[in-house]
Amino acid sequence: MRVIISDETKVRFRYPARAVGIVGAVLMIVSIFLPWSYGSGALDDVGFYGAPSPLQFAFVVLPVLILLLLAIPLVGKQRLGQWAKTVAWNTSAKTASLATLATVLIGLAAIAIELKGLVNIDVGGFTALVGALLAAVATPFLPDSPEPTLARVKSPTWLQILGIVLMMAGVLFAAAFALNQTDAGAFLTFVAFLVGVVLVLRQLGVMAWIGIAGANNNRVLVLAAFATAFAFPFTQNGSDANMSIASQVLIFAAAALGLNIVVGLVGLLDLGYIAFLGAGAFTAAILSESAFSTLDFHPPFIVVVLISGTVASLLGLLIGAPTLRVSGDYLAIVTLAFGEIFRITMNNLDGNDGPNLTNGSNGIPGIPDLEFLGFNFGDAHVIFGVDIGRFANYYWLMLLVIALIIVVFMNLNYSRIGRGWVAIREDELAAEAMGVNTFALKLLAFAGGAFLAGVAGAVKAHHDVSVTPDQYVFLESAFLLAAVVLGGMGTVVGVLIGATILKLLPEKLRFFSDYRLLLFGLLMVVMMQFRPEGIVADERRQMEFHDEDEELAEEIEEELISHHAHLNPERRGFDL
């Protein structure tokens, strides 16, 4: 549903449109000083005069952006100079207005639903709605801006690093703010706001600029990202609930990143991947000090991790060696069958249907917290005056594991092995004919991915306290695959985002927990129709899904070249 407005109309109405847009933005800015609702039970209480709630303070960013985007060009083209073309003023204002309208609508809907009735919307809410409607209706009448060239602006290194740091700070703030929204309506409104901000920044070219800055200062970017992730527990005031979610997200993401090697790089569809996570978890549980452990061998955790990974990768070899010769679709089903065999076997090794190893469906409960060099992961402690609880400890451990996985992933990707993997995905026969040992490489991916999942599983066992077979059903494999597909096959950032979305949304939106799987199924179908390459597209993958799009091909190439210009092979990947 795209409304097309002719260029002549746009030229004719450009002044009134700008004026109306500005009025709308001002109205929205004013609205945060007015109460949005009569009761206090919605959006974390937005019922005050003159005292905006934190959510309203965040929200006002969008209208201010619209105001700036519309007002600054008023100084005239001459004075703007090169900036007239560097920034996509009008188009960005349009995007921002539509995003703002969406945010306002979701917020008002949340008020109406949570306080039961539209009557609970107060004057501020209506002011915001009117403002948002004005801006959203007016801005499409502005002439389209040319493609922004902000990304190509030459900037000094300090500015680039500052940009990266600012972005990371923004990410940290947004993550903390989103997680602290206990109310589903407030959470959704904030998410809509975030999506809007990201879209506007993309439209402005800020995202592309940051991308290039990141490529130029690869190590700064990586360090900043990890510093941000590391700092996250300090924003939580010792809230175990949020840290529990965060550490679960990381465990899930670690497994998804392992799967990403298999699916994203080599193109092998594995539908039983959860079995490797399970193998790691069961191994760690059996080797733990739990009273229900069935083996009398309890090595220190660092050994357990290695054993867990090895057991998982041995399973990977066991299933991969005979089956990696069959074609793609079959491999998917074989791995699915293998996943089921794993679950049933874990269920049956209960001393009744087989030797007792796992206590059957009861699993192994009472797994003690990790002890590491005298440090107990179950202990809470205070750092810089902030309570750091049990889950924060596991969160940091998983952060380390993820860092390891990313290093492995990137370093392999930018090596002879990674090139072999991509070649296999592109044309297996040609790869073989060029001397690539396709079988060995596929097996390596399979076993390597399994190893990483096994390591994540070992931590998961201690994190969850108990391990049972019913945690490792097919649906979990489907979820892992969905995280990879949704985020973007073959990318690290995409998979992290995908894993976060899939784990975080259900936790925060409990009211639709019953519809979770329904929406999940629908999402998979819709995603494959409209954006099969995922949220963050890997350049090559994107091409595979849009084979006929020559324009996109050239665009991607331009991007690749601009990246290559900044990157010599030495600087790709990470040094250890």
Partner 1 sequence: MLDLFFQQLINGLSLGALYALIAVGYTVVYGIVQLINFAHGEIFMVGAFGAFATWMLLGQPTDWGVSASLLILLPLMLLGGIVVSVTVALLTERFAYRPLRNAPRLAPLITAIGVSVFLQEFVRLFYGRIPGFPDAKSAIPFPSVAGISGEIVRIGSVTIQMPALFTIVALAISTLFLWFFVNRSKTGRAMVATSQDPDTARLMGINVDKVIVAAFAVGAGLAAIAGVAHGLNYGNIDFRMGFLAGLKAFTAAVLGGIGNINGAVVGGLVLGVVEAMATTFIPGQFGSSAWKDVWAFALLILVLVFRPQGLLGAKVVDRA
Partner 2 sequence: MTQVMSGAGHHVDASTLLLQASSVTMRFGGLTAVNNVSLDVHAGEIVGLIGPNGAGKTTFFNCLTGLYKPTSGEVRFAGELLPPKPRLVVRAGMARTFQNIRLFHNMTALENVMVGMYSRTKTNAIDAVFRLPRHRREELASTERARELLDFVGLSSAADMLSRNLPYGDQRRLEIARALATDPKLLLLDEPTAGMNPQETRQAEELIFKIRDLGLAVLVIEHDMRFIFNLCDRVCCLVRGEVLVEGVGEVVQNDPRVIEAYIGAPAEPPADVPPPTAEPPASEAGKGSADA
Q: For residue 237, how many C-alpha atoms fall within 13 Å in the half-sphere facing its CB?
A: 4
Distance CA 426, CA 418 (A): 12
**Residues 176-215: x where in contact with partner 2 by CB under 8 A, - otherwise, as a string:** ----------------------------------------
Q: Is residue 550 close enough to count as binding partner 1 by CB under 8 A?
A: no
Distance CA 464, CA 447 (A): 25
Instruction: At 356, list the tokens.
Output: 């007792």
Which of 68/417 has CB closer to partner 2? 417
What distance, in Å, lies between the first and last C-alpha atoms of the chain?
51
Q: Are 450 and 470 in contact (CB under 8 A)?
A: no
Least distance in angstroms from the C-beta of 3 to partner 1: 25
Least distance in angstroms from the C-beta of 406 to partner 1: 23
Least distance in angstroms from the C-beta of 532 to partner 1: 5
Q: Are 467 and 282 in contact (CB under 8 A)?
A: yes
- Taking CB under 8 A as the binding criterion, the range among 362-370, 501-509, 511-519, 559-567 that sits at the site for partner 1 is 511-519
Residue 575 contact partner, candidates partner 1, partner 2, none, CB within 5 to 8 A by sort of partner: partner 2
Which of 50/435 has CB closer to partner 2? 435
Residue 251 contact partner, candidates partner 2, partner 1, none, CB within 5 to 8 A by sort of partner: none
Distance CA 368, CA 455 (A): 17
Residue 549 contact partner, candidates partner 1, partner 2, none, CB within 5 to 8 A by sort of partner: none
One residue of 529, 561, 570, 575 binding partner 1 per CB under 8 A:
529
**Three-state SS at 88:** coil
CA proximity to 236, closest of 404, 78, 388, 66: 388
Q: Is residue 448 close enough to count as binding partner 2 by CB under 8 A?
A: yes
How many C-beta atoms lie closer than 10 Å to residue 485's C-beta? 24
Distance CA 266, CA 316 (A): 15
Count residues contacting partner 2 (CB under 8 A)? 43
| Residue 177 host element (H or E) | helix 157-180
* Chain residues 12-51 in contact with partner 1, contact rule CB under 8 A: none
Least distance in angstroms from the C-beta of 556 to partner 2: 7
Least distance in angstroms from the C-beta of 328 to partner 1: 6
Q: Is residue 560 close enough to count as binding partner 2 by CB under 8 A?
A: yes
One residue of 304, 412, 484, 492 binding partner 2 per CB under 8 A:
412
Distance CA 36, CA 193 (A): 17
Distance CA 336, CA 320 (A): 13
Task: Note the helical H segments in 414-549.
Answer: 416-426, 428-433, 438-464, 474-487, 492-508, 516-530, 539-545
Task: Note the helical H segments in 205-327.
Answer: 206-216, 218-231, 240-260, 274-286, 301-323
For 402, phi then psi, to 5°, come to -65, -40
**Residues 445-484: x where in contact with partner 1 by CB under 8 A, - otherwise, as a string:** -----------------------------xx--x--x---
Least distance in angstroms from the C-beta of 91 to partner 1: 29
Tokens 């090169």, residue located: 82
Q: Is residue 311 close enough to count as binding partner 2 by CB under 8 A?
A: no
* Chain residues 321-380 in contact with partner 1, contact rule CB under 8 A: 322-323, 325-330, 332-334, 336-338, 340-341, 344-345, 347-348, 352-355
Residues making up the chain, counted from first to last: 576
* Chain residues 409-428 in contact with partner 1, contact rule CB under 8 A: 428
Which of 183/428 has CB closer to partner 2? 428
How many C-beta atoms lie closer than 10 Å to residue 27's C-beta? 20
Residues engaged in binding partner 2 (CB under 8 A)? 407-408, 411-412, 415-420, 422-423, 426-427, 429-438, 444, 448, 539-540, 543-544, 553-554, 556-557, 560-561, 564, 569-570, 573-576
Residues engaged in binding partner 1 (CB under 8 A)? 263, 267, 269, 271, 319, 322-323, 325-330, 332-334, 336-338, 340-341, 344-345, 347-348, 352-355, 428-429, 474-475, 478, 481, 485, 514-515, 517-518, 520-525, 528-529, 532, 544-545
